[in-house]
């Protein structure tokens, strides 16, 4: 398998549930990103991991918890979410220093009920 | 801080015709990269074209080309011979060069409709 793979594709969860989003890249990249895409809003950068270390956390609420166990995998752990957290969550990867842009996954459509 | 502005929330074009999507940006850096991404209904963001700011020549990829005006900080995308498969949300993005990691700053996007 190549590129960036995100699972699940769709997720419906209650406000008291705990779930995780998974992202896997097979490109040998050394940086990974989580973005939130809401209707009629710009893409919001949530977290950046470079060489498996978190280098950016853009004031994201603590109910979102990222994890990067190695350079190929990135998780977003979710708990006690709010309905306004419903959105498309996109994962991306890149090779730092080469400026060829990101490679994106197809996203997880999250609905919080 | 970097900003990217796409002033056209929606555009439409007839199949086989040409359409231009606008993008302006602001950055204090002299060396940076600009991108256009396409997001079809399948949701995956796909890189369409990339421009290096230090290159004066406009980038071209088949039917896609850009008009890069560095002094005006403008980076428009021209799609020639539009096809139904070009219908998508298009995002303009900017990143500075160098550094151990970098961030892409995105515009809000332009929804392109292609009419048969």
| DSSP one-letter code for A84 | G
User: What's the residue count for chain B?
Assistant: 116
A28-45: b (≥16 Cβ within 10 Å) or e:
ebbbbbbbbbeeeebbbb
pLDDT recorded at residue B92: 97
Is the Cβ pair A97, B107 closer than 8 Å? Answer: no
C-alpha closest to that of B51 among B66, B64, B72: B66
Q: Which of A105, A94, A3, A4 is nearest to A50 (CA)?
A: A94
Say yes or no: B103 contacts chain A, CB-CB below 8 A: yes
pLDDT-above-90 percentage for chain A:
69
Instruction: Give A21's contacts in chain B (Cβ within 8 Å).
Output: none
Mean local confidence (pLDDT), A51-64: 82
In 3D space, the residue among A28, A39, A82 whose CA is nearest the CA of residue A60 turns out to be A82
Q: Residue A59's pLDDT band (boundaries 50, 70, 90)? A: confident
State the nearest Cα–Cα gap between B115 and chain A, in angstroms. Answer: 23
Percent of residues in chain B assigned helix, strand, coil, to nearest 5: 5, 50, 45
The residue-averaged pLDDT of B84-98 equals: 90
Residue B101 pLDDT class (50, 70, 90 cuts): low
Instruction: Give the number of beta-carbon pairs within 8 Å between A and B.
Output: 60
% of chain B surpassing 70 pLDDT: 95
Subunit contact B95:A55, Cβ cutoff 8 A: no
Q: What are residue B96's DSSP bridge partners? A: B32
B7 close to A (CB below 8 A): no
Confidence class for position B42, pLDDT limits 50, 70, 90:
confident
Between A28 and A40, the more confident residue is A28
């Amino acid at each position: 398998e190549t590129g960036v793979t995100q699972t699940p594709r769709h997720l419906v969860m209650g406000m008291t549930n705990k779930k995780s989003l998974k992202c896997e890249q097979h490109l040998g990249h050394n940086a990974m990103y989580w973005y939130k895409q809401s209707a009629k809003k710009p893409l919001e950068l949530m977290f950046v991991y470079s060489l498996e270390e978190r280098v950016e956390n853009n004031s994201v609420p603590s109910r979102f918890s990222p994890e990067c166990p190695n350079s190929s995998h990135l998780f977003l752990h979710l708990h006690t979410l709010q309905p306004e957290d419903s959105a498309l969550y996109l994962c991306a990867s890149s090779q730092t220093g080469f400026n060829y842009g990101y490679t994106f996954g197809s996203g997880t459509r999250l609905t919080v009920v | 801080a970097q900003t990217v502005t796409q002033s056209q929330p929606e555009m439409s074009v007839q199949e086989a015709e040409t359409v231009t999507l606008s993008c302006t940006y602001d950055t204090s850096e002299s060396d940076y990269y600009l991108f256009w991404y396409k997001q079809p209904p399948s949701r995956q963001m796909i890189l369409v074209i990339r421009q290096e700011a230090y290159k004066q020549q406009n980038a071209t990829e088949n039917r896609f080309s850009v008009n890069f005006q560095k002094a005006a900080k403008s980076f428009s995308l021209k799609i020639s011979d539009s096809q139904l498969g070009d219908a998508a949300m298009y995002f303009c993005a900017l990143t500075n060069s160098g550094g151990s990691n970098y961030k892409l700053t995105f515009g809000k996007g332009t929804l392109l409709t292609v009419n048969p």
